[in-house]
Amino acid sequence: MAARPEVLVAAALPPVTMAALETRFAIHQLSDGLDPAILARIPAMAASTLAGPIGEALLARMPALRIIANFGVGYDNIDIAAALAHGVIVTNTGGVLDEEVADLTIGLLLATIRRLPQADRFVRAGGWLKGAFPLSPSLRGRTIGILGLGAIGKAIARRLDGFGVAIAYHGRSPQADVGYPWYPSAEALAAACDVLIAIVPGGVATRHLVDAAVLRALGPSGVLINVARGSVVDEDALVTALQAGTIAAAGLDVYADEPRVPAALLALDNVVLLPHLGSASDVTRQAMGQRMIDNLAAWFDTGRPLTPVPETLHLVG
């Protein structure tokens, strides 16, 4: 029987994904104790946002590496320039989590505007026995700005269409087949909206795309929802804006230094904080794991993984 192909696991993966990987591949866990000679001969890697970043230091020790399969659609955990320099294909799990992340985003949006976690805490603390919970702001009549109208942004927009609210968006360019108004900058979008939902990729190009000026433009009844990456929002500017009433509230799923959430955010009542839950359901995490494995298997079998990221598409034979 032929030896199973070797895969380095540099990722935090669900047990069901690990078990499925092990049936098909010979697995090596990335650790300080891993024999450098083994590392040097491994052709494939499984990575994830939830584990450490993958960069030049590791790739330089892996001259045989040809593919990194990421567990996640965002791949800002991988240094793409280094991957390209080493001729390494990168794949993601695009297409299997869009609806789940969009569902979570709508939940976070409603929880933030209607103050659902605060209301839950109020009931548990016996507050209702003493009087009514204060009236909340509303989603009614709002314009929702989607910062990054990609696969997930569009799944969010489809849901919001059903809520009868106005939608606008910003990306680097307007999309010909999209009917919502496009704005040429994050600040212009924020000025035209009173909810801003960030769902762009992370990385250098989008670092602090939502800054103090964007928050000012969103205004005192404005609500920021960040389901993109922590790096997309200037967290210090956000804390200041929430404290000063520059915006009304924020719903956050992602942070600059996960899993550490700044104490200043924890202390605020006008923010809803989730621990990076966008895709975190059993069924979707399982589908992401399967897509990651299918990418590896397709590459070993045919040289053509299912969902290579655009930057490394030209490396696919």
* Residues binding ligand 8YV (CB under 6 A): 48-50, 71-74, 97, 276, 278-279
Give SS3 for 52: coil
Residue nearest to ligand 8YV (CB): 72
Nearer to ligand 8YV, 100 or 187 (CB): 100
Calpha distance 147→119 (Å, rounded): 29
* Least distance to ligand NAP, CB of residue 228, Å: 5
Give the C-alpha distances (Å, rounded to integers) separating 109 from 50, 196, 225, 251: 24, 10, 7, 7
246 binds ligand NAP (CB under 6 A): no
Please name the residue ranges forming H helices in the chain: 15-24, 36-41, 56-59, 80-85, 98-113, 116-124, 151-161, 186-192, 212-218, 235-244, 263-266, 282-302
Cβ-based nearer residue to ligand 8YV, 254 or 297: 254
Angstrom distance (rounded) from CA 68 to CA 75: 10
List the single partner that 205 binds among ligand NAP, ligand 8YV, none, CB under 5 to 8 Å by kind.
ligand NAP
Identity of the residue numbered 281: S
> 258 catalytic, yes or no?
yes
- Of the pair 42, 83, the CB lying nearest ligand NAP is at 83
Phi, psi dihedral angles at 189 (to 5 degrees): -65, -45
Closest CB 72 distance from ligand 8YV, rounded Å = 2
Figure out which of the listed residues 165, 276, 286, 311 binds ligand NAP, where binding follows CB under 6 A.
276
CA separation for the pair 295, 73 (Å, rounded): 13
Q: Is 229 a catalytic residue?
A: yes
Beta bridge partners of 71: 48
Contacts of 6 (CB under 8 A, 6+ apart): 25, 26, 27, 28, 38, 41, 42, 43, 44
Tell me the residue nearest to ligand NAP as measured from the CB. Answer: 150
Active-site residue flag, 207:
no
Q: Residue 157 interacts with ligand NAP (CB under 6 A)?
A: no
Q: Which does 71 bind (CB under 5 to 8 A by kind): ligand NAP, ligand 8YV, none?
A: ligand 8YV
Question: What binding mask, one character per residue, do residues 190-229 give for ligand NAP by CB under 6 A, x or -?
Answer: ---------xxxx--xx--------------------xxx
One of 142, 229, 285, 291 is an active-site residue; which one?
A: 229
Judged by the rule CB under 6 A, the positions of this chain that interact with ligand NAP are 73-74, 94, 97, 101, 148-153, 171-173, 199-202, 205-206, 227-229, 253-254, 276, 278-279
- By annotation, the residues acting in catalysis are 229, 258, 276
